[in-house]
Amino acid sequence: MEMALLILSVILIALVLLQGSKASDAGASQIISGGNSELFQAQKERGIELFISRLTFLCGTAFMVLAFLIMFTA
């Protein structure tokens, strides 16, 4: 069961690294000066971004459940 947790953690790390940054289109000077008013507005994910986001959520949930199972069965 620990091996499954290890594999799931590596997959979760890879999925998090694959996700794009929400502020990738904004330059650092615009963030500091407040020039980009659309930075923190809701942006819809589409296509592969939505798939990776949902898969990350699913893997994170599975990771927590598996970690709790290992903790309570040990």
Confidence of residue 46 (pLDDT cuts 50, 70, 90): confident
Q: How far apart are CA 74 and CA 64, in angstroms?
A: 15
Measure CA 61 to chain center: 12
Measure CA 74 to chain center: 29
Are 49 and 5 contacting, i.e. CB atoms less than 8 angstroms apart? Answer: no
Are 63 and 5 contacting, i.e. CB atoms less than 8 angstroms apart? Answer: yes
- Look at residue 31 in the predicted model and tell me its pLDDT: 56
Section 30-44 average pLDDT: 60
pTM above 0.85, yes or no: no
